[in-house]
Amino acid sequence: MNQTANSGNSTEPMISLSGVGKWYGAFQALDNINMSVAKGEKIVLCGPSGSGKSTLIRCINHLEAYQKGDIHVGGIMLGHGSKTIDAVRREVGMVFQQFNLFPHLTVLQNCMLAPMRSLGLEKAQAEDRARTLLERVKISEQAEKYPAQLSGGQQQRVAIARALCMRPKAMLFDEPTSALDPEMVKEVLDTMIALAEEGMTMICVTHEMGFARQVADRVIFMASGAIVEEAPPAEFFSNPKHERTRKFLGEILGRH
């Protein structure tokens, strides 16, 4: 619990990366990433595929190892030892493109597993928490169903609830709507918008520019493993400074 005390310091960013570099063999996936996210801030990360945006957020909870630089989350320095990695993972929720719900567990069990096994909650306590959060993502009536019985949009909302059951200080979204049929995108985005309005610190890798406009405090554009440009959404969309940003926006907005 001493981690909570640390993050109470409001001047300290919730998440900060300094000089982070990552290589796959000779290929440089991340190039000197410096980034700081304040408590309650919402960041949208965008960029062409292969630009390193997913790799970047996966480094924040150490699903990917990085070779250079430092990452701090909620006052904890993410080292390479399993102790700090576990501590950080308990503080940061993640939502994946492919939902990754556990197929052999019901929706409720999906939400209860980690709070019980990782935080040590009692069963009743975990169930209480799970039902409250399933209510919040408006899917409580599906609690006893299995993931395969739900639509993609419902599964992703459950995945969001499952992550929230850990009471994370920040949430990472890795293209949460990219695997969804178009008619299901909205229900997931609405859930994320509601979460943002409650003050959650969020980093979202997404191509949903409407979401970025509505929710983001800053939009960060990446290309070739480096941060090219960052700006508040109004400025980012109306007045992009870099040629690569303009080209990307032209392609992605032209599609819609």
Partner 1 sequence: MNYTLDFTPVIDGLPNLLWACLGTFTLAICGMLLAIVIGIGGVILRQSPFKPLRWLVIGFVELIRNTPFLVQIFFIYFALPLAGIRLDPTPTAIIALGINGGAYAIEIIRGGVQSISKGQMEAGLALGLHKAQVFRLIILKPALRAIYPSLTSQFILLTLTTSIASAISAYELTSVSQRIESDSFRSFEVYFTVTAFYLVISWVMMRIFALFSSRYFSYPIR
Which residues bind to partner 1, rule: CB under 8 A?
A: 61, 63, 82, 86, 89-90, 92-94, 96, 98, 100-105, 113-114, 117-119, 146, 148-149, 159, 162-163, 166
The nearest distance, CB 20 to partner 1, in angstroms, is 18
Q: Which is nearer to partner 1, 36 or 84 (CB)?
A: 84
The nearest distance, CB 172 to partner 1, in angstroms, is 8
Three-class DSSP category at 162: helix
Sign of the Cα pseudo-torsion (105, 130, 116, 111, in order): positive
Three-class DSSP category at 32: strand
The nearest distance, CB 87 to partner 1, in angstroms, is 8
Q: Which is nearer to partner 1, 203 or 231 (CB)?
A: 203
Work out the angle between the directed axes of helices 182-197 and 152-164 (0-180°, nearest 10): 20
Three-class DSSP category at 97: coil
The nearest distance, CB 228 to partner 1, in angstroms, is 27
As a whole number of angstroms, the distance between CA 221 and CA 47 comes to 5
Token pair 């990433």 is found at 33
**Measured distance between the N- and C-terminal CA atoms of the chain, rounded to whole angstroms:** 46
The nearest distance, CB 166 to partner 1, in angstroms, is 6
Three-class DSSP category at 63: coil
Q: Which is nearer to partner 1, 147 or 225 (CB)?
A: 147
Q: Which is nearer to partner 1, 75 or 93 (CB)?
A: 93
Q: Which is nearer to partner 1, 203 or 219 (CB)?
A: 203
As a whole number of angstroms, the distance between CA 138 and CA 237 comes to 32
Residues 6+ apart with CB under 8 A from 228: 47, 221, 222, 242, 244, 245
The nearest distance, CB 16 to partner 1, in angstroms, is 20
Q: Which is nearer to partner 1, 104 or 256 (CB)?
A: 104
As a whole number of angstroms, the distance between CA 235 and CA 192 comes to 22
